[in-house]
Amino acid sequence: MKQVHFRKSVMILKTILLVLILSFTFPFYEGETTSALESLSFVHHQGEQPKPPLHSTDQMQPPAKVDYHNLDAGPSTHAPVQVIPLPSEEPDSNPSPSPSSDRNDAAIPGTSPNEETSIPGTDSQPASDPALNPEVNDETGEEIQANAGVLLQTLLDQSYRHEGEKVAYLTFDDGPTSSLTDQVLDILKEENIKASFFFIGSNAERHPELVKRVYEEGHGAGNHTYSHVFKEIYASPECFVDELLQSERVLQSILGEDKTFRLVRFPGGSFGKELEPFRQAVNDAGFGYIDWNSLNGDAESVKAKSPKKLLARLKETVTGQSGLVVLMHDAPGKESTVAALPEMISFLREQGYRFELLPGSR
C-alpha cells in the first residue's frame, strides 16, 4: 500500500514539474525553429524555396541584413552556404550603388574588355589618356595604383553589357580543389572554352599543381582572398586588402613573381552600402572586382542540388543578358556542378553566347 502511495506521489511531482517547465517555455515560443545554419550570421539559408526569375539588370540586388561587423568565423575556407544575392522584386529597379557604378556611363570611349588597354596582369600597351597615367611621386605609387584600379574596374564594369553580341564569362570560386578542379578543366579543354578561376590563397598553397594547370591551359586567375573567413576579411577595409595582397603573393610564388593578380571577387559579393569602403579600398590598392549576374545555384543550400536543378537555375538567371558573368564553384562538395557543366555550356551556346576570359585575369 505504501508503495502505491509513493508511486502516486512521484507521478504527481513529475506532473507538477512538467507543468512548471511548460509554463515558462510556451510564453517565449513564437512558432519559429532554428538550425545550425542560422547561427552563422553571415549566411542566408535560402533552402529549396522557388526562386523568381532574374530581371535584366546589370547585377543582382544585394542580400538583405548582412552584418559584416558581427560575423562568426565559420569554416577556415568557405561557408557552407554562400551569400547569394536575390533578384529585386521590382522589374525596373537598379542594383545598389558601388564605386564603379558611377563610372559605367563614363567608360573609356571605344574600349571593350578585349581591347588593348593597360590593366594589371596584361601585356598590353599603356593607355594614352593622361587622366589614367598621371605624373606621380614614384616613392609612394599610391596614385598609380588607384588609377590602375579605376581603369581595371571600368573594363570589368563593361563586362555586363555588350553591343551587338552575347558574351558569357564562366567563373569558378573557392578552389582549387583536388579532383574537382581537374574535372572542370578536363571539360573546359574538351569544349575548347576558357574560364576564370577565383582562388582562395590558402587552397592555392595546398594545391599549387592545380593553379599551374589552370594558368598553363590558358584560363584566368582571380583573387578570392587568402582565408575566405568572413570575420577576418571583413574586419576592416585594410584587413580585406591585406588578405588580397597575401593571396597575390601566393599566386606569384606559384606562377611567377613578374605577374600581378589584380582581378578580385569578394566572398559573398561586393553588394550593398555596407561594403562601399571595402570597394573603394580595393580600387585604391590597384585591384578591380567583379560580381555576377547569373548563377547555377550550387551554393544556395547546404544540401547538394542535382545537375538537373543546377541547369534549371542557370536558365532562370540568363534572361537574355548581353554580358553574362556566371557564378559557379569548384569547392568541395560541388560534384553536381561538374556533372551539369557540359549541359550548361551547351545551353549557353544555343542561346548564342561565346565564351571569354574576364579582363585582368591573365
CATH code, domain with 181: 3.20.20.370
Residues labelled catalytic:
173, 329
pLDDT under 50 in the chain at which residues? 21-137
Does some domain include residue 293? yes
Helices (H), 44-195: 142-157, 180-191
In a domain, 211, yes or no: yes
Nearest to 338 by CA among 159, 178, 169, 219: 178
What is the C-alpha to C-alpha distance for residues 323 and 339, in angstroms, rounded to an integer? 24
Q: Which three cell numbers stand for residue 153?
A: 574596374
Residue 245 lies in a domain: yes
pLDDT of residue 143: 84
Residue 47 lies in a domain: no
Separation between Cα atoms, residue 249 and residue 253, nearest integer Å = 6
The per-residue pLDDT for 109 is 27
Give a yes or no: residue 232 inside a domain: yes
330 in any annotated domain: yes
What pLDDT score was predicted for residue 351? 97
Does the residue 260 lie in any domain? yes
Cell numbers representing residue 229 in the block = 573567413
* Cell numbers for 183: 574535372
Number of domains in the chain: 1
Identity at 100, one-letter amino acid code: S
pTM attached to this predicted model: 0.68
Residue 11 lies in a domain: no
Q: By residue range, what is the domain housing residue 61? A: 57-84+143-355
How far from chain centre, in Å, is Cα 51?
19
Q: Are 331 and 173 in contact (CB under 8 A)?
A: yes
